[in-house]
Structure 1
Amino acid sequence: MTDRPDLSTLPSYKAPKRSLFSARKLALMASVVAGLGAATYGFSPSHNPADLFTTPAHAQVNNEVKKVQQPVGFADIVERVKPSVISVKVNIREKVAKDDSNNDDSPFQPGSPMERFFRRFGGPDGLPPGLRGGPRGGGVVTGQGSGFFISADGFAVTNNHVVDGADKVEVTTDDGKTYSAKVIGTDPRTDLALIKVEGGSNFQFAKLSDSKPRIGDWVLAVGNPFGLGGTVTAGIVSASGRDIGNGPYDDFIQIDAPVNKGNSGGPAFDVSGEVMGVNTAIYSPSGGSVGIAFSIPAQTVKSVVAQLKDKGAVSRGWIGVQIQPVTSDIADSLGMKKAEGALVAEPQANGPAAKAGIESGDVITSVNGEPVKDARELARTIGGLAPGNAVKLNVLHKGQDKTVNLTLGQLPNNLEAKADTDKSDKGNSSRGTDVPKLGLTVAPANSVAGAGKEGVVVTEVDPKSAAAERGFKEGDVILEVAGKSVGTAGEVRDAITAARNDSKNSVLMRVKSGGSSRFVAVPLAKG
């Protein structure tokens, strides 16, 4: 129990006279209090409790607040854009299986267009239901995807992997009508395709956005998931500039609007009703939506579709270099303050870059005055320019900045370097000489059959060394160390010593592996 203050001791205090309340008065007060409680908590449906405490003006303000707080839906936007979205159905005649255990002619071989189609928007193991283990016999395989009109006369956009290899393409519009369509052109590198609907006109179409979406913007995905027809899902832009290993021009918008099998090729709309991207891939361990989908940006779609409509194919600029990212270790070994730009691993013979004097080890830092952030950005920038255009490249060459002017060539259809089939014959060489600071054992390349005449071949790699961590393996050929050509283990040691004397934390090596070369920055051991 706590002590109460004695108010009678205060100078200004006067004790009140004791008053008595009758039981009738107390009962009346109790009924009033109870009545207020009932008015607050037990009102009848015919009375608004706010009327007991607010004036009509306050009530009007409260109603306005309620109107503002109501969630805004997407119904008006959907009603406007949904008729521009189509369902795409394709028939692909499968080849007859020669051997159930090894069907080389199957269209579902790993890496094939159909296998990619069903892995992205089909079965989790890359095959449609009923074809697990490979197609059995001849027949027709049916696939489904989405698309959208971009003009009133029936031109529509979808994914390349939806229509690639199709013998027959049909589209179904939002009002349930079905039309035949033909493929105008495809671009596998961006996974885009342009088709033309036959037998119709005055189609409602969508506009490709001119602005770049911001992370956090609303997005609506409309398509044909699981063959259900026009379906709308909503979400936000989760990220931009995503590289998912699909190709050298990856620059995807990541969205969390649910995208499932059959949404491939469908549009992702912004709240203005314009197409911000074309849905092309999902990350899905289970085959269903987990809230990670990828869309091709509208700017890329515009550029590709314009060429497909004009020529049926896409021509890209080409400078003829094999490039790789500039890592922090590589930047340190080259004396660069920031790990930016694209490192030239090897210029291709007779390519525009080689003719202009660009060499291995050069770092391309800008194109036409625009900085190059990394190797992917260089590939996208050059690929977005037309062959024959003159470009100005800023290049870091042996520590010095220089400007190179060249004319773009046309990107060849196939730039895949074939692996060197020659194998190192270690029986024709001794174990080689150790480079203990790196964990490598090397021998002159000209002393090992099949290793070539230049550089030193790696004959042994310490599995616990920094070189092993950087991917060195037996048979690799080291061509240069710290910018100097090497042909013996002694020259390798000398180059390493010079780099250490220059206070470098790592040494840059140009390494040939198979039919291609790359630069590797290997940390230098102290001492």
Structure 2
Amino acid sequence: MDRKFSYGPMAVLAVMIVAVLLGGPQVMRQLAYAQQAEHLSEVRESIKSSRLAELSESFKQVARAVEPSVVHIAVSSRISRVHGRNPHGAMPNLPEEFRRFFPDFEERFGQPEEGQKNNDDKYDEYNVPQQIGNGSGWVYGHGGKNYIVTNNHVVKDADEITVKFFDKSTRKATVVGTDPQTDIAVLEVETDHLHPADLANAPVEQGEMVFAFGSPFQFEFSMSQGIVSGSGRRLGILGNMGYENFIQTDAAINPGNSGGPLTNIYGQVVGMNTAIATRTGAYNGIGFAIPADMIRQIADQIIDKGKVSRGYLGVWISEMDPKLAKSFGFKGRGVLVDDMVDKHSPAAKAGMKAGDIITEIEGQPVTNASQLRRVVAAFAPGQTITIKVFRNGDTKNFEVTLVEQPKNPMIASRAGGGDQPDSQGGGELDNNVAETLRKFGIEKVETFTKEIADKLELEFTPGVVIGDVRGGSVAAQQGLRPGVIILDVQGKSVENLKQLDKAFGDLKLTEGVRLRVQAGPAKRFVLLELPEE
């Protein structure tokens, strides 16, 4: 007789529980995976319509708008007529045994040593140009014609310049003109259908998003993104007579980016990549660009006149700290006039003097020396400008007619020396005055005479010459050293020890002592202040 088995609901449930317990981990993983897949699908759909997608598309639009205006620049030069001396000799591949037995072979048949010229200089023009560098640039429109703008340092040693456009076509370029004082150069190419870049009309602001274009390390037509980290930076890379007002950015700028445009989010040029701050020679997060307004001002002059003309005031200037300003009774910001370049300078003719503090030019506040130089240079020679100064507790306005800046303003004609001081320059300092000078670190002084000037090969100027300065002293920290001439003390002229003694004897030292001194051709003000006890 067959047996029949019947399983009730409880038995079925028990079997299911056992199955779940045995296969649980796998089931749970499948459930988790399904949930993750569904979430991932939702996120991906969300990203497609997110602001990130819009931002990315905006970046691409900037690239499309700017890159047709960007160029790659290759610079070639014929072999230099002056050859550097190789540390292994003029012929480094010459076998050592040969060199040892024929020691004069290199000298007779090798390349010339440094500073020597080859007798065949006249044939250098037939040498084949070799590439010596590369950089970037961009198309600049002016007067219905298109040019290429780049850095002066990119093309300054070029015998031949080749410009490569975004469509891969190349053209030879010629230099229209350069301005080493701003590191700007303008090139010309014989071609049509160029696309000039748009220039921004407003200055950049800190935090503004920017894009750097160019050919870093010869990776042509590259683009990087960052923000404006700061503005108004001065690096000193263009020398004392350079005009610097750099935009600082963290957009990646590397060798080869020089001359390329820095743009805003609208594809408008706000600057030109020029320099980096680095310890390695490559990008370290700090790059610098010439602002668009300076580029426009300089490039237009180069194109229109073939050169750059700048207004010239003819003064030696410096910046003041609050303590030095206080010694003049001045509160606020301004630029101190240390001296006139000469008695015929525009400022001197207008009545300005050493010790004036310039606060405004044509109604524009002046806050530092670099800004003052840029403002004055922006005016055309022959133009008359109004300069507001602070003098002896009052403000005065001077009408100054500018002249054209000399080619080398540092070499300025100065009036001949003054008269020889009379015999009252002898004598010794009062003990209290001598003690005060020693506290400041000035150990020895004497009347500056024509004989001393001749001995030191200096131009004679009546005053008191410093003979010794103690290291680590207040005077040393202010840059005073032997040979510096004291011209006045707190506004009182001193031409000998007797006058110096009287000037110091009348002073209260609680707020320091202001001196006007001369070192070489330059005159300036310094404030000597004893440390608080």
What TM-score do you get using the length of structure 2 for normalisation? 0.77
- 1:390 deviation in Å? 1.6
Look up the match of 1:354. Answer: 348
Cα shift at 1:293: 1.1
Q: Which residue of 1 aligns with 2:166?
A: 174
Matched, 1:148 2:138: yes
Counterpart in the other structure of 2:338: 345
Give, in whole Å, the separation in 2 of the partners of 1:390 and 1:223: 41
Superposed counterparts of 1:481-496, under 5 Å:
481-496=489-504
Alignment of 1:277-296 (within 5 A): 277-296=271-290
Inter-partner Cα distance in structure 2 for 1:287 and 1:319 = 38
**1:361-510 maps to which residues of 2 (within 5 A)?**
361-417=355-411, 434=434, 435-440=437-442, 441-446=444-449, 448-450=452-454, 452-500=460-508, 503=510, 505-510=511-516
Aligned 8 A contact 1:158 1:194 in 2? yes
Q: What residue number does 1:183 align with?
A: 175
Tell me if 1:512 matches 2:502. no
Task: Report how far residue 160 of structure 1 moved.
Answer: 1.0
Spell out, residue by residue over 1:88-124, the C-alpha distance to the aligned partner (whole angstroms, 9 max, x if none).
122234543377399xxxxxxxxxxxxxxxxxxxxxx
Unaligned runs of 5+ in 1: 1-21, 52-58, 103-132, 423-428
**Paired letter, 2:195:** Q
Work out whether 1:164 is the aligned partner of 2:170: no
**1:348 partner letter:** V
Name the residue aligned to 1:14: none
Q: Which of 70, 81, 92 does residue 77 from structure 2 map onto? A: 92
Contact 2:426 2:447 in 1 (8 A): no
Aligned partner letter, 2:473? S
What one-letter code is carried by the residue in structure 2 that aligns with 1:148?
Answer: W
Instruction: Tell me if the contact between 2:341 and 2:413 (Cα under 8 Å) persists in the aligned partners.
Output: no
For 1:157 and 1:208, locate their aligned partners in 2 and report how far apart those are by CA, in whole Å: 12
Instruction: State, as a whole percentage, how many aligned pairs show the same letter.
Output: 34
Aligned partners of 1:310 and 1:243: how far apart in 2? 28
Whole-Å Cα distance in 1 between the matches of residues 180 and 287 of structure 2? 19
Are the aligned partners of 2:341 and 2:412 in contact in 1 as well (CA < 8 Å)? no
Q: Which AA in structure 1 matches 2:210?
A: V
- After TM superposition, give the deviation of residue 412 of structure 1 in Å: 1.1
Letter in 1 for 2:133: G
**Which whole-Å CA distance do the structure 2 matches of 1:266 and 1:469 have between them?**
42
Alpha carbons of structure 1 residues 38 and 371: separation in structure 2 relative to 1, 3 Å: same
CA distance in 1: counterparts of 2:394 and 2:299, whole angstroms: 41
Name the counterpart of 1:326. 320
**Out of 67, 72, 76, which is 2:49 matched to?**
67
**Which residue in 1 is equivalent to 2:227?**
236
Distance in 1 between residues matched to 2:461 and 2:149, nearest whole Å: 51
| Mapped partners of 1:284, 1:516: distance in 2 | 33
In structure 1, C-alpha distance between the alignment counterparts of 2:178 and 2:62, rounded to whole Å:
30
Structure 2: 5+ residue runs without aligned partners?
Answer: 1-9, 88-113, 119-123, 418-424
**Offset, 1:415:** 1.1
Alignment partner, residue 123 of structure 1: none
Q: Which has more helix, going by share of residues?
A: 2
Kept in 1: contact 2:75–2:158 (CA 8 A): yes
TM-score for both structures, normalised by structure 1:
0.78
Q: Which moved more, 1:86-95 or 1:430-439?
A: 430-439
Verify the 8 A CA contact 2:427 2:497 in the aligned structure 1.
Answer: no
Partners of 2:256 and 2:60 in 1: how far apart?
22
Decide whether aligned partners of structure 1 residues 479 and 291 sit closer, same or farther in structure 2, where only a CA change above 3 A counts: same
Structure 1 residue 69, shift from structure 2 partner = 4.9
Q: Larger deviation: 509-518 or 137-146?
A: 137-146
Q: What is the CA–CA distance in structure 2 between the aligned matches of 1:68 and 1:365, rounded to whole Å?
A: 51
Contact 1:221 1:232 in 2 (8 A): yes
| C-alpha distance in 1 between matches for 2:500 and 2:234 | 36
Q: 1:347 to 1:49 in 2, by over 3 A?
A: closer
The answer as to 2:63 corresponding to 1:78 is yes
d(CA) in 2 for partners of 1:163, 1:36: 70
2:258 to 258, 264, 273: 264
Amino acid at match of 1:70: L
Aligned partners of 2:282, 2:115: CA distance in 1, in Å? 22
Q: Name the structure 1 match of 2:301.
A: 307
How far apart, CA to CA, are the structure 1 residues paired with 2:386 and 2:413? 33
Shift of 1:356: 0.7
Q: Within 5 Å, give how 1:19-168 maps onto structure 2.
A: 41-43=32-34, 48=38, 63-64=45-46, 67-71=49-53, 72-73=55-56, 74-93=59-78, 95-97=80-82, 100=85, 140=129, 142-151=132-141, 153-168=145-160
**Separation (CA, whole Å) in 2 of partners of 1:66 and 1:431:** 90
Q: 1:144 to 1:134 in 2, by over 3 A?
A: farther
Whichever residue aligns with residue 437 of structure 1, its letter is K
Superposition deviation, residue 279 in structure 1: 0.8
Structure 1 Cα separation of the partners of residues 192 and 261 of structure 2: 21
